[in-house]
Amino acid sequence: MELSSFGTFWQIYILVFTGIIGLIIGSFLNVVILRLLSGESIVFPGSKCPKCSHAIAWYDNIPVISYILLKGKCRNCDQSISIQYPLVEFTTALLFIATVFCFGIGLNLFFLLILISALIVITVTDLKEQVVFDIISMPLIPLGLVYNFFDIANTANSHVKFFALTFNDVFLTAFAGAILGALFFELFARLGLVLVGHRAFGGGDTIIAAALGAWFGWKMLIIVIVLSFALQLLIGIPIILLNMYKDKDFKSLIYMSLLLFSLIISVLGRIFGLTNHFTGALIILLISFGLAGVGVVGVLSRVKERKSYTLLPFGPALVFGGFVVLFFGQNVMNWFINNFHLMQG
């Protein structure tokens, strides 16, 4: 049921109520994150200060508000409380509100809120300790397939029959997306084993990609991957370049230049009108991938030799791409179609 079907008062009431639920769930997600990283039970004991282990009273455990009232410090030991706690709570509330606003109220909302909660936990644990827990990420794959098998979002357009079984088109694209996500990252991860002696991506990234493919389908997964790589490069390249410059590793800087040029060549092609036709777009794409391949292989070989550059967790970038597709998927897809004619071919 769309939110617009309610009156203005009830729309505001539902969004405010959703925000409160989001704050409460966000508080619980903080507990899950902390307990997973420490290896403790999620259920017992109750909430406690991570510094002094003193039990936290209910009035000191009100999401966001208690953090503000306590000025970010534990009432018992006066040690600083991590900003992670109010950030996770507030972010969860905002995402919950956005989900209700965009998708309305129905069974699909229940599934989507589970997905969002899991992705928040994955993001924080990967940022803090570069670890993605299978107990959080693995269930997202079958859950996404179930979500699309029963067409809970009611987006299927056709059905295909295989022997005695009938599948909707949404489920088939989701199944293909799960396979594509797993294969793509696993192949690149194993390429890293060959080139630098360790995986280019962690096993958790493979699971996240497969899960997002199971939820959004293979076409949207491609958008997720493009967005995640763009974000990772935007954040990671300055760090890597700085480390290369400090080490006076000019060979690696040349390889990085090739990689960077491969990213802007499509923009140059569009400026000069080379991507207005399929052939031109294909040539630009091949050149871009070729330069990127040389750059990546060169950088990875130098990393293997020097073993000195910072590697950033990739899970948060994938989650970012997933959230963009969740809320703006079709708009982003339309933008790609309008700007890269290969997707029309």
Question: 85-109: per-residue pLDDT in tens?
Answer: 999 999 999 999 999 999 999 999 9
The continuous run of DSSP H or E covering 116 comes out as helix 107-129
Question: For 72-90, how does the pLDDT look when each residue is reduced to its tens digit (9 = 90+)?
Answer: 999 889 899 899 999 999 9
Comparing 1 with 308, which gets the higher pLDDT? 1
What mean pLDDT do residues 255-277 have?
78
Say which range, 111-115, 198-202, 300-304, 325-329, has the weakest mean pLDDT.
300-304
Question: What does the pLDDT read at residue 340?
Answer: 57
What mean pLDDT do residues 46-61 have?
84
Q: Where in the chain are the domains?
A: 1-105
Q: Evaluate if residue 55 carries a pLDDT over 90.
A: no
Q: Evaluate if residue 343 carries a pLDDT over 50.
A: no
Q: Evaluate if residue 249 carries a pLDDT over 90.
A: no
Report the distance separating Cα 187 and Cα 11, nearest Å: 47
List, in sequence order, every residue forming a beta bridge with 161; answer none if it has no partner. 166
Question: For 207-217, how does the pLDDT look when each residue is reduced to its tens digit (9 = 90+)?
Answer: 999 999 999 99
167 φ, ψ (degrees, to nearest 5) = -120, 145
Q: What is the distance in angstroms between the CA of the first residue and the CA of the last residue of the chain?
A: 36
What mean pLDDT do residues 48-70 have?
88
Question: For 304-329, how does the pLDDT look when each residue is reduced to its tens digit (9 = 90+)?
Answer: 666 555 567 889 999 999 999 999 98
Q: How far is CA 216 from the centre of its chain?
A: 12
- Residue for token pair 């079984």: 165
Report the distance separating Cα 100 and Cα 117, nearest Å: 14
Q: Evaluate if residue 197 carries a pLDDT over 90.
A: no
Question: What does the pLDDT read at residue 35?
Answer: 92
What mean pLDDT do residues 7-26 have?
95
At 300, the pLDDT band (50, 70, 90 cuts) reads low
For the chain, give the mean pLDDT: 87
Comparing 81 with 341, which gets the higher pLDDT? 81
What mean pLDDT do residues 252-260 have?
82
Question: What does the pLDDT read at residue 8?
Answer: 92
Q: Which residues contact 168 (CB under 8 A, 6 or more apart)?
A: 148, 149, 151, 156, 158, 159, 160
At 344, the pLDDT band (50, 70, 90 cuts) reads very low
What mean pLDDT do residues 13-29 have?
96
Question: What does the pLDDT read at residue 345?
Answer: 41
